Amino acid sequence: MIPLATVEQETSVETIAGSEILVEMLIRMKAEFVFAYPGGASMPLHQALRAKRERIRTILPRHEQGGTFAAQGVARTTGRAGVCMATSGPGATNLVTGIADAKLDSIPMIAITGQVPQKFIGTDAFQETPMVEVCRAITKHSYLVTDVRDIARIVKEAFYIAETGRPGPVLIDVPKDVQLAELPLSEVDFDPPFELPGYRPEIRKAAPEQISQVVAAIKRSKRPVLYVGGGCILSEASEELTKFALRTGIPVTTTVMGLGAFPGDHEQSLHMLGMHGTAYANYAVDESDLLLAFGVRFDDRVTGKLEEFAKHGKIVHVDIDPSEIHKNKEAHIPINADLKEMLLALNETLTDSDIPDIAEWNSQIADWKQKHPLSYGDSGDNIIQQWAIEQLYEKTKELDPYIAVGVGQHQMWAAQFYKFNKPRRWLSSSGLGTMGFGLPAAMGVQAAFPDALCVDIDGDGSFQMNIQELATLHCEKLPVKILLLNNQHLGMVTQWEDRFMEGRRAHTYLGPVDHPEALGEGDGTQLEETFPKFVQIAEAYGVKARQVRSKADFPAALDEMLNHDGPFLLDVICNYQEHVLPMIPSGLTVKNMILE
């Protein structure tokens, strides 16, 4: 017979479940939001989140993929890891695209998935998928938690891995039995030591002799160009970059991920380069004698034919990830270092005598800008997408807005015609090019910055990929504004059909298959009947909406959208067969650039 005192002692021990440890660690890692969709294998986690709702906000997306992009919205604008969560099986696999997207754009994210109990792993149990194996190539690191005692350490490590060095997504797969397992609270260390012997992301600094090499190259140059990517934003180096650029007078072009690293409305800005970059940016890079490639990866959408890209000059390549150095393009001065630290050293070392005379070069660039500005044709009273984006820019540029986009023509037009003067205001799925990114990304930003203006510039094809998140906007009171540029087509694919396939339409019209447009038998102007009825759909989700077709009506409609105190969808019926220009066809060079 057990003594009464022993029974009382045992029952008074305070315990904590694995799910509760995980949620407490999220809070201690300063996660303010979790975008989580529940299911059988993640129910304990959701119960723990419910209990901590005063300390961490759980937002229910209407699709797990929407949750990944919302988490990215937080991460891309704050620099801190966003958090998303799903159940096992199909819930977990619905995160995969968003995880891959974060990996390619170097976005810190923690993806937490429920998993079937350990005794069922490998038995093809209901809703079982091997998520670590599925995501191995698209995560920075992955964990399968097998012991409740490891949860605190794993969560702490996951945030550290996701946010340091070159950022990226980390997966934590948590079996249900581990979530339910309990430990005495006294045995849980909420600040455990790391166990990462192979990961040393200490801040890398350029060697003094490397800085001297860069200074010497700058001093000798006559036609230098700064080619700046997302690494500049991720390393918080925009201020140092701008200081360097303004002091030297070197013109600046950015990748689509680098928009906002240098003020887009400054006269030194060449804006975006590459396939749909400005003609003057591409000409400048092609003729440069020194290319200062800072936080870039020489991806194919920028370089086209690699051996012809920037072949006339010396290349300085600075990147925090050593695997990017020489990966696509050989650098004459390769520097594996944190870009901010490198720019700090460069700015300290540079003297007035090191600054080259590039007046003639700047005159040449000014001439290219005058001859080849971004432009578009006269569409009468019909609305074209470039004009609509310009109107949005003029209305909102002083409001410091956050602009998210889907993927397609509207994405490239937004990159061209909306000028960003600050980093972390532009959200674009750039490496993976994931349609459906814009709306949930803006949703995440709005949660993180409830008083800010958050606009999703979207296309009708991309928007429908995650249209269900309209429900989240309404239910979570997130006043995102949606400028829907509706041309009834998959616009970018249609453009390629026009340019390279003699205009043959192959499933790029988004309306009924028996419509003449399905075969391309139209004149490229607005369609009288549109499908689906976005205004009615939005209103069914509780979101205010309006459709507009003419330039005359657009300003008032835009004002209504921007001044509405809740979420708003403006369905803008646009001409189709508008092309994003300039365009360098895939794999070709600046000599093949299409200008009109």
Residue 198 belongs to a domain: no
| pLDDT at residue 203, as a whole number | 83
| Amino acid (one-letter) located at 516 | P
Do 365 and 396 belong together in one domain? Answer: no
Residue 32 belongs to a domain: yes
Return d(Cα 553, Cα 382) in angstroms, integer. Answer: 10
Domain end marker among 156, 187, 218: 187
Residue 589 belongs to a domain: no
127 is catalytic: yes
Do 392 and 530 belong together in one domain? Answer: yes
126, 190, 194, 500: which is the annotated catalytic residue? 126
Residue 529 belongs to a domain: yes
- Do residues 266 and 365 lie in contact, with contact meaning Cβ atoms separated by under 8 Å? no
User: Where in the sequence is the domain holding 89, given as residue range(s)?
Assistant: 16-187
Do 360 and 450 belong together in one domain? Answer: no
Return d(Cα 21, Cα 172) in angstroms, integer. Answer: 14
Exposed/middle/buried for 12, CB within 10 Å: 0-12, 13-18, 19+? exposed
**3-state per-residue secondary structure call for 292-337:** EEECCCCCHHHHCCHHHCCCCCEEEEEECCHHHCCCCCCCCEEEEC
CA dihedral 433, 435, 436, 438 (to 10 degrees): 50
Nearest to 18 by CA among 154, 186, 151, 192: 151
Do 339 and 430 belong together in one domain? Answer: no
24, 64, 341, 578: which is the annotated catalytic residue? 64
Domain end marker among 322, 338, 371: 371
| pLDDT at residue 526, as a whole number | 74
Do 43 and 154 belong together in one domain? Answer: yes
- Averages of pLDDT over each 10 residues, the chain, 596 residues: 48 90 98 98 98 98 98 98 98 98 98 98 96 98 98 98 98 98 97 90 92 98 98 98 98 98 98 98 98 97 96 96 96 98 98 97 98 95 97 98 98 98 98 98 98 98 98 98 97 94 92 83 77 97 98 98 98 93 96 94
Do 46 and 131 belong together in one domain? Answer: yes
| pLDDT at residue 34, as a whole number | 98
Domain end marker among 153, 187, 221: 187
Return d(Cα 302, Cα 308) in angstroms, integer. Answer: 12
- Do residues 206 and 337 lie in contact, with contact meaning Cβ atoms separated by under 8 Å? yes
Q: How many residues does the chain have?
A: 596
| Amino acid (one-letter) located at 588 | L
131, 275, 492, 583: which is the annotated catalytic residue? 492
Residue 508 belongs to a domain: yes
- CATH code of the domain covering residue 257: 3.40.50.1220
Return d(Cα 161, Cα 159) in angstroms, integer. Answer: 5
202 is catalytic: no
DSSP string, 532-575: S-HHHHHHHTT-EEEEE-BTTTHHHHHHHHHH-SS-EEEEEEB-
492 is catalytic: yes
Return d(Cα 71, Cα 136) in angstroms, integer. Answer: 20
| pLDDT at residue 10, as a whole number | 52
* Separate counts of helices (H) and strands (E) for the chain: 24, 20
Residue 546 belongs to a domain: yes
Strand order in the sheet with 109-115: 57-59, 33-36, 82-86, 109-115, 169-175, 141-144
Quick check: helix, strand or coil at residue 12?
coil
Within a 13 Å sphere around the CA of 70, how many CA atoms are in the beta-carbon half? 34
- CATH code of the domain covering residue 121: 3.40.50.970
pTM value is 0.96
- Do residues 519 and 543 lie in contact, with contact meaning Cβ atoms separated by under 8 Å? no
Return d(Cα 542, Cα 539) in angstroms, integer. Answer: 5
Residue owning tokens 């430990």: 183
Do 216 and 181 belong together in one domain? Answer: no
- What residues does 34 pair with on adjacent strands? 58
DSSP 577: S
Do 249 and 336 belong together in one domain? Answer: yes
| pLDDT at residue 4, as a whole number | 46
64 is catalytic: yes
DSSP string, 128-189: ---HHHHHGGGSSEEEE---GGGHHHHHHHHHHHHHSSS--EEEEEEEHHHHH-EEEGGG--
Residue 528 belongs to a domain: yes
Return d(Cα 571, Cα 311) in angstroms, integer. Answer: 45
| pLDDT at residue 3, as a whole number | 52
- Do residues 295 and 230 lie in contact, with contact meaning Cβ atoms separated by under 8 Å? yes
- Using CA of residue 455, residue 461, residue 462, residue 466, what is the dihedral sign? positive
Nearest to 161 by CA among 220, 124, 108: 108
8 is catalytic: no
The separation between the first and the last C-alpha atoms of the chain, rounded to the nearest angstrom, is 93
Do 288 and 346 belong together in one domain? Answer: yes
Query: What does residue 534 show for φ and ψ, rounded to 5 degrees?
Result: -65, -35
Encode 414-434: b = buried (16+ Cβ within 10 Å), e = exposed: bbbbbbbbebbbbbbbbbbbb
Structure tokens at 107: 């976005």
- What residues does 111 pair with on adjacent strands? 84, 171
- Do residues 56 and 85 lie in contact, with contact meaning Cβ atoms separated by under 8 Å? no
Residue 203 belongs to a domain: no
Overall number of domains in the chain = 3
Residue owning tokens 């340091």: 164
| pLDDT at residue 515, as a whole number | 83
Do 457 and 348 belong together in one domain? Answer: no
Do 350 and 484 belong together in one domain? Answer: no
Quick check: helix, strand or coil at residue 377?
coil
| pLDDT at residue 12, as a whole number | 75
Return d(Cα 177, Cα 189) in angstroms, integer. Answer: 20
Do 101 and 179 belong together in one domain? Answer: yes
